[in-house]
Amino acid sequence: MSVHEAITAHTRKMHSHLEQFQLLDEQREAAIDQAIAQCKSGQPFTVEVINRITASINEHAKHGISPTRPYVTEDMVRDHVNRTV
């Protein structure tokens, strides 16, 4: 494999890794938005889906250059809602 081919393969791998991170991060943000909306309307909510996606993001980050994300607690959601209401 030539140097050019090796660089191209590496670049494609990194790009693919970041695309996967972006998809997971968008799913996480949607789950956070849903929990916030439920909390604002006084409905019960959970952070289980958020943290399941967070675990996937953090595991994915171990295999490339993407960042990790912190886990979310129900108190964090409530605090956010209380600050923005």
- pLDDT tens readout for residues 26-52: 999 999 999 999 999 999 999 999 999
Whether this prediction's pTM lies above 0.75 is answered by yes
d(CA 28, CA 69): 10
CA–chain centroid gap for 5, Å, is: 31
Over residues 72-81, the pLDDT tens digits come to: 999 999 999 9
Q: Which residues contact 51 (CB under 8 A, 6 or more apart)?
A: 71, 72
Give the single-character DSSP code of 65.
Answer: S
